[in-house]
Structures are given as C-alpha cells and as structure tokens.
C-alpha cells in the first residue's frame, strides 16, 4: 500500500512556497545574503519547530522568509519544491505565494514572481509538471494593503490563476476582505480562502457567502456544524486539508483524532495537501501515509483522494486533455 500511495499520480492544491524553505537552504541563503538568523546551526532550527498553535508557527515562518532576497533565491526555493513533486508523483501543483511578506521588506513584487515563474517553466520542461500560482493576501494586514497588492499583481495577471487569504485566522474573518475579493472576482481571478483551520466554522460560511470562494483551504472545523457539513456535501466544493499541518499546529492532538476520514465518508470533496512541508515534517506522500496509517484508509479512499485533487484543481477543460 505504501508503494501504491507513493506512485499514484496526484495534484497538490495547498502549498505555501515560503513553507517549503528547508533549514539547509535557509542557512545557505542567510550566509549568502548576510542575514542574521536566531539559530546557531541547522539542528537548532529543527529543534525550534515545536509549535503550539498557528501563530507560534507563523512567527518563525515570517522570520525564515527574510533570507529570500534575489530572483535566484525565489527560483531556488521553488525549484527545490518541484524536484520533490517529481519524486512524489505530483503531476500538477497549485502554489500559494505571499507577496506582502516580501514587499514589506523592500523586495520588488516582480523579483518574487519572476523567480517563481522561471522555476515553474523549467519544471514544466524538465519534469512535465504543470502548475498554477495563487496569490494570497495576509489577513493580519488591512484590506487597503490587500487592494495595493492586487494592483501590483495586475501586471502579472496572466501568471496568477487565483487569489487566496492566509496568515493569522482568529480575529481576521473573511468579512474583512469582502470588497477586495469582489474586485478580484470582477477581474476574473478564481478565489480561495483559508477558513475553519483553527477559527470557528462560521468563517467557512463567511468565505462561501461573502467571498464566494471556489475552494476552502483547511475547513476542518466544518465538523462542528451539521448544516454546514450538508452544505459542503451538496456543493461538492473542495476542502484542501493538510493533515500533518493540523497535528503540528495542534488543531488535532493526534492523527487518530483527525476528521478527514469522517468528512470523506460523509461525502465531502476533501483533498490531502502538505501546506508548509519544510516546517511540518513531510511532503505530500508523507501526509497521505500518515493519514493512511492513523485512520486505516482503504485503497478506494486513496484513489478517491487522488481523483479529488485533479477534479478540484484549476486546470481548464482544454488543459485537461493533457492528462487523458
């Protein structure tokens, strides 16, 4: 079964490129760019990855991202992740990036985007991996700042398929970004949002009603409300669930307590994803394997999860011909 999981073709729909920054690359970029890190060596970095909730992770994640300075740095970061995709039989990936994390440090939007884009092009040629880019707004910042970021993205509109919403969830509800999501929809972007990761299931209803998203990122708190569970089943909207992230950030104490199997059995369109693999101890296959081992998924359920990943992707009908 482990061979089967490792070799089944998959799509990944929830991956923060900044969250794929491995400690080794963090250290070498810090040296190259003369950035001071609060760690003496790689082991100290790894030891620091002991999180109590989402915010305790985000604090280290934003600090780690400071080593990314040049276009080549963003290229190297992205290409390293794409090499992992190739090894893990990920044929298609939809990658989040957080421009504000970088523009607020004086890095040009174009430096970030062009570095990532070049790596995606090279992986398409070298590994035949297809990809889409999703630009996320940081929800701890203002809607006005999100509007400025949307403005900067317009020059690169053809390179960005969707707009997303991430960072500190509690206290920053989807309603805070209603206007900017409306504008993004008018401009033709697809929409996603992190909702119901550690905040109330009500945030999922808000993301659906006020932001009109095409997918929900995480969404595991839906289990708190039967009516919402029925709604998600009826809509067949995808939830991009990230099991190792959820246990590392203490959304669930153990993988045995994770609700992904319950949601799958209920008929909700769930997918498995890695979120920030360099911080949470595993890429996509490790997430599949952890769930399989803890919750005893059947082979049919593994196949269903892999199918859901392609069916819920933003690959267009025309592009789908390439997979047949």
The span from the CA of 82 to the CA of 118, in Å, is 12
**Angle, vertex CA 285, rays to CA 46 and CA 200, nearest 5:** 75
The tokens for 105 are: 């440090």
Known binding residue 218? Answer is no
Known binding residue 296? Answer is no
Q: Which of 9, 36, 42 is nearest to 23 (CA)?
A: 42
The site map against ligand ADE for 226-265 (x = CB under 6 A) is -------------------x--------------------
Contact region with Zn ion (CB under 5 A), list: 80-88, 101-109, 226-234, 271-279? 271-279
The span from the CA of 247 to the CA of 140, in Å, is 23
Neighbours of 194 (CB within 10 A): 28
Question: Applying CB under 6 A, does 194 fall inside the site for ligand ADE?
Answer: yes
Question: Applying CB under 5 A, does 18 fall inside the site for Zn ion?
Answer: no
Rounded-to-5 percentages of helix, strand, coil across the chain: 60, 15, 25
Known binding residue 275? Answer is yes
Candidates 19, 115, 196, 243; binder of ligand ADE (CB under 6 A) is: 19
Known binding residue 217? Answer is no
Known binding residue 16? Answer is yes
The span from the CA of 264 to the CA of 223, in Å, is 12
Question: Applying CB under 6 A, does 276 fall inside the site for ligand ADE?
Answer: yes
* Catalytic annotation, pick one of 197, 198, 206, 286: 197
Candidates 12, 98, 206, 275; binder of Zn ion (CB under 5 A) is: 275
Q: Which element (helix H / strand E) includes 11? A: strand 10-16
- Supply the minimum distance, in Å, between the C-beta of residue 194 and Zn ion: 6
The span from the CA of 54 to the CA of 21, in Å, is 17
| Three-class secondary structure of residue 80 per DSSP | helix
Q: Which is nearer to ligand ADE, 242 or 302 (CB)?
A: 242
Q: Which is nearer to ligand ADE, 12 or 197 (CB)?
A: 197
Which residue has tokens 């089943």?
A: 233
The span from the CA of 16 to the CA of 112, in Å, is 13
Q: Which of ligand ADE, Zn ion, none does 197 bind, CB closer than 5 to 8 A by kind?
A: ligand ADE
Residue of closest CB approach to ligand ADE: 166
Question: Applying CB under 5 A, does 12 fall inside the site for Zn ion?
Answer: no
Candidates 167, 271, 312, 313; binder of ligand ADE (CB under 6 A) is: 167
Q: Which of Zn ion, ligand ADE, none does 54 bind, CB closer than 5 to 8 A by kind?
A: ligand ADE
The span from the CA of 2 to the CA of 217, in Å, is 26
| Catalytic status, residue 198 | no
Answer yes or no: are the C-beta atoms of 26 and 65 closer than 8 Å: no
Question: Applying CB under 6 A, does 274 fall inside the site for ligand ADE?
Answer: no
Question: Applying CB under 6 A, does 196 fall inside the site for ligand ADE?
Answer: no
Which residues make up the interface to ligand ADE (CB under 6 A)?
Answer: 16, 19, 54, 61, 166-167, 194, 197, 245, 275-276
Which residues make up the interface to Zn ion (CB under 5 A)?
Answer: 275
């Amino acid at each position: 079964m482990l061979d089967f999981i490792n070799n089944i073709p998959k799509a990944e729909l929830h991956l923060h490129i900044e969250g794929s920054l491995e400690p080794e690359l963090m250290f070498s970029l810090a040296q190259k760019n003369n950035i001071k890190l609060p760690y003496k060596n790689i082991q100290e970095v790894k030891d620091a990855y002991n999180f109590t909730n989402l915010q305790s992770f985000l604090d280290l994640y934003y600090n780690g991202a400071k080593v990314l300075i040049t276009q080549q740095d963003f290229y190297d970061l992205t290409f390293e992740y794409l090499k992992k995709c190739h090894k893990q039989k990920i044929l298609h990936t939809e990658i989040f990036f957080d421009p504000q994390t970088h523009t607020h440090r004086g890095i040009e939007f174009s430096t970030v985007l062009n570095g990532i884009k070049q790596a995606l092009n090279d992986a398409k040629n070298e590994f035949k991996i297809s990809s889409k880019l999703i630009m996320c707004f940081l929800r701890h910042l203002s809607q006005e700042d999100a509007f400025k970021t949307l403005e900067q993205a317009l020059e690169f509109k053809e390179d960005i398929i969707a707009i997303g919403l991430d960072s500190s969830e509690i206290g920053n509800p989807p309603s805070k970004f209603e206007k900017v999501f409306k504008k993004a929809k008018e401009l033709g972007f697809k929409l996603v949002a992190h909702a119901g990761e550690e905040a109330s299931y009500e945030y999922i209803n808000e993301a659906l009603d006020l932001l009109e998203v095409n997918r929900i990122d995480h969404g595991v708190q839906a289990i708190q409300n039967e009516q919402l569970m029925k709604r998600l089943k009826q809509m067949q909207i995808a939830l991009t669930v990230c099991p190792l992230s959820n246990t590392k950030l203490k959304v669930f104490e153990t993988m045995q307590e994770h609700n992904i199997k319950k949601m799958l059995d209920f008929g909700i369109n769930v997918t498995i994803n890695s979120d920030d693999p360099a911080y949470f101890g595993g890429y996509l296959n490790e997430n599949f394997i952890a769930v399989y081992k803890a919750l005893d998924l059947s082979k049919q359920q593994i196949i269903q999860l892999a199918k859901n990943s392609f069916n819920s992707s933003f690959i267009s009908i025309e592009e789908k011909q390439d997979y047949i």
